[in-house]
Amino acid sequence: MLSNLWNKSSINHGVMYALAAALIWSGFILVSRQGGVSALNGFDVIAIRYATCSALLLPIWWFKFRFNLFEPRFIAASLIGGLAYALFTFQGFQLASASHAAVLLVGLIPLFIILLAALFDSDKIPVNKWLGLALISAGVASLIWPLFSTGPGLNAGHYYLAAGAFCWALFSVLIKRWEITPWQATVSLAMLTCMLYLPVYITLLPKNLAFNLWQDIALQAFYQGFLATIIQMIFYVKAVRLLGPSAMGSMMAIVPLISGIAAVYLFDETLTTTLVIGLVAVSVGAIVVHTNIHFSWYKRRR
């Protein structure tokens, strides 16, 4: 009886964390695209993101919850989920529309997570997950097909976003496999990425930072450096630990419907039939994949 109540409570908490992370991630796509169309470049946004986050986390880590940042598992996870993910993703936001990013970035993450989890941890993929993956794949295909049939095809931004999705999927599987806590994942990702990236950014990379862009800088600092990196990461990792990486990745696939439609109004992007089909297919696919959690809990309860 107590075990069933504990399982139910864990799942409910996991779902709430997952939904909160999904809402913040929806805003992340929109704010990142805003950074991409502003005078800031992708390298600026990455620097703002991790400099702000590290400045907020450093005193807490130093005085309250210190741990060894330089363990190999933290370094590897930060290189994948921090540095590589950011470099690919923010270059993608400069070159591809937010609605395309909503389908590609978040749509590919659950597909990669489920396949990687099956590869690394021998997770069995049930029928509902195969069906959900098929719907997600169809949604991505409905976006890509017109680009080849009536347009120039995919640009570099689409490939950057796909690479970013793979990096985040691999990070999601590794934090569960290596038993990295939400606090460890958040701090190590932010601070190690900052230590590795900022010296290169300051000395070698192009910069467009200027005082007259203070509103753009403030928006990116608050959302990227606080909400998306600290709050969203804590919610995301908690959900991964409670629900597993496959379920968390599936929940994140509801983001395209929110951010994709919002992008049409915020950035005056074209709302085509194939885009609507892609957004809906990816979101429905996420729901189909995620239903396995509720069915499993229902069976245990009985």
Residue 176: name the closest of 252, 246, 72, 86 by CA: 246
Which of 67-76, 115-124, 265-274 reaches the highest mean pLDDT?
67-76
Per-residue pLDDT averaged across 26-34, rounded? 88
User: Which band of pLDDT confidence, cut at 50, 70 and 90, is reported for residue 286?
Assistant: confident
**CB pairs under 8 A, 24+ apart, for 51-54?**
51/194, 51/198, 51/225, 52/221, 52/222, 52/224, 52/225, 52/226, 52/229, 53/190, 53/194, 53/224, 53/225, 53/226, 53/229, 53/230, 54/190, 54/191, 54/194
Given this model, what pLDDT does residue 77 score? 93
Flag whether pLDDT at 212 surpasses 70. Answer: yes
Flag whether pLDDT at 48 surpasses 90. Answer: yes
Flag whether pLDDT at 255 surpasses 70. Answer: yes
Given this model, what pLDDT does residue 281 score? 87
Given this model, what pLDDT does residue 101 score? 85
For the ranges 131-140, 168-177, 208-217, 293-302, which has the lowest average pLDDT?
293-302
Average pLDDT, the chain: 83
Flag whether pLDDT at 1 surpasses 70. Answer: no
Task: Tell me the pLDDT tens digit for each residue of 80-112.
Answer: 999 999 999 999 988 888 888 888 887 788 788
CA-based angle 66:67:69, to the nearest 5? 120
Rg (CA), the chain: 19
Name which residue leads in pLDDT, 93 or 288.
93
Per-residue pLDDT averaged across 281-290, rounded? 78
Contact 17, 248 (CB under 8 A): no
Given this model, what pLDDT does residue 201 score? 94
Report the alpha-carbon distance of residue 256 to residue 277 in Å, rounded.
11
Per-residue pLDDT averaged across 240-267, rounded? 78
Contact 106, 32 (CB under 8 A): no
- pTM of the predicted model, to two decimals? 0.81
Given this model, what pLDDT does residue 58 score? 92
Task: Tell me the pLDDT tens digit for each residue of 213-243.
Answer: 889 899 999 998 999 888 887 887 788 888 8
**Residues 6 or more apart from 72 whose CB is under 8 A from it?**
none
